[in-house]
Structure 1
Amino acid sequence: MLELESKDIKVGVISNGAERSRRQTIAALPFAESVSTVISSEAFGMAKPASDIFRAGAAQLGFPPEQCWFVGDHPINDYQGAKAAGMYAVWFQGFHSWPEGIMPAKSSITSLD
């Protein structure tokens, strides 16, 4: 993530968490200082995996979804949702197992370093 920041790549966060806890959630991220936009599903009125919340995140960063990468830990809400919105999706392994019957992720990572 630090390498992304050094290349002036914008970072945003889309969370299905409550608005009141989003500051704590962001502060706990190892790349918190790099985050330029945050959307909580509570404030937006729509939760992941809805495509509109992903498109809104891309718009707030100033890019079309097709030019955005989305890294998330939930196979359906994050990976499938971002893909459906037109983003390049990357699954962050470790918190949720991949569900049976769903095509495996094309891209995955195990660390944010």
Structure 2
Amino acid sequence: MITNGPGAHQRKKMNILGLTPFFHPRLILVSDEVGVAKPDPGIFEQAQNRVGYPPDQLLYVGDSWTNDVMAPIRAGWHTVWFNHRKKKAESHHKPLLEVARLDSILPLFNTMRVG
């Protein structure tokens, strides 16, 4: 998980949303804690190093065009744009998938190969 903002605030949001149990603590990157924020490619490089996979085997899901589509694509990752606000794309970048509901990405995981 990659998130921008102050560490205490972001971690409180993760706990309230019930996300913390789904991520190993080492795999949660909060911009204030790691010293770099999206859309800087450095935060994606840090995440890539922590998970130990090359960028073409990584998938990022997010709702911000600049931070969650353009930035990970520039870092070599695949992306899913969670476009629940029905916004228009802001550049030529092409996400792997655009969805309005998060449950729409579940079939994608059934077709992906890992390893």
TM-score (norm 1): 0.75
Whole-angstrom CA distance in 1 between matches of 2:7 and 2:86: 23
Whole-angstrom CA distance in 2 between matches of 1:104 and 1:58: 20
Gaps of 5+ in 2: 104-115
RCO higher in structure (CA 8 A, sep ≥6)? 1
Whole-angstrom CA distance in 2 between matches of 1:54 and 1:105: 18
Match for residue 50 of structure 2? 60
- Establish whether residue 70 from structure 1 lines up as the match of residue 60 from structure 2: yes
- Establish whether residue 103 from structure 1 lines up as the match of residue 92 from structure 2: yes
Structure with greater helix share of residues: 2
Other structure's SS at 1:49 match? coil
Other structure's SS at 1:60 match? helix
Please, which of 7, 10, 15 is the counterpart of residue 22 of structure 1? 10
Q: Tell me which amino acid in the other structure corresponds to 1:33.
A: P
Structure with greater strand share of residues: 1
RMSD: 2.0
Q: Tell me which amino acid in the other structure corresponds to 1:48.
A: K
Gaps of 5+ in 1: 1-12
CA deviation after TM superposition for structure 1 residue 104, in Å: 6.0
- Percent identity between matched residues is 29
CA deviation after TM superposition for structure 1 residue 61, in Å: 1.5
Asked if the contact 1:79–1:89 (Cα under 8 Å) also holds between the matched residues in 2, the reply is: yes
